[in-house]
Amino acid sequence: MRILPRLKAFARDGVPLHDLGSVRGVGSDAYDLVDGLPRGPARVAAWNAYVLQTYGDKLIAASETTERVAVDTAHVAGAAYQLAGMCLDCARQLATEGAEASLANVPDALPHWHTPIRSHEQLVGMRETLEALRIYAAFDLQTFPADDPSTVAMLELLAAVDADLATVDLLWIRRPPAELRGGIGDVLTRGLDKAFELGRLLADRRS
């Protein structure tokens, strides 16, 4: 097989969706598992899996106009799926073995992009991920007393996520130039990090 022509074709035309087939469903159980676990380490691991699986799915859905996706999208989505599977395995282990398992090897951040400027499709996937995580966290927060100090701190973090979404709304225009797409991507990245952390705090919070 001639590897170089194949790599050049991938860079030009994107990665076939079927190349991601083996990892896309690895962490799909996270959508149900995170709500079925009590708050604590196992739920934290399940939340991480939920975030990573959501990120991968949203990126692919936003880019899935043909049977191919951009190389950098495939790289980040594929990494997210693989990490989601790791987190899901850890969540199940923690749920059954308790203190004998550990969160030490569970990633607590999203995969990083290798380039600074996002495409429109990638921004859509990031934005939809942030909106989904924001909705989940806001709903979960309602189950705790609003005047509790830890709740107040998490409400402030939620407000920071809302501020990032508001900034994205202000910057979002049709066919933005590369510089603006870079700025939107930076804001979305910060918002995703905050939403990720907020969900972890909620998953680990005891009543």
- 93-105 residue pLDDT tens: 999 876 666 777 7
Judge whether residue 12 has pLDDT over 70.
no
The pTM of the whole model exceeds 0.85: yes
Supply the range of the domain harboring residue 121.
Answer: 8-204
Secondary structure of the chain: what % helix, strand, coil (to 5)? Answer: 75, 0, 25
List beta partners, residue 68: 16
- Let me know if residue 3 belongs to a domain: no
What is the pLDDT confidence band of residue 26, given thresholds at 50, 70 and 90?
A: confident
- Let me know if residue 62 belongs to a domain: yes
pLDDT number for residue 131: 98
Counting the structural domains of the chain, the total is 1
- Let me know if residue 78 belongs to a domain: yes
| CA gap 82, 71 in Å, rounded | 16
Token reading at 171: 């910057």
Dihedral over Cα of 42, 190, 165, 58: its sign: negative
- Let me know if residue 144 belongs to a domain: yes
pLDDT number for residue 58: 96
| CA gap 110, 129 in Å, rounded | 11
Burial of 183 (C-beta count, 10 Å sphere; 0-12/13-18/19+): middle
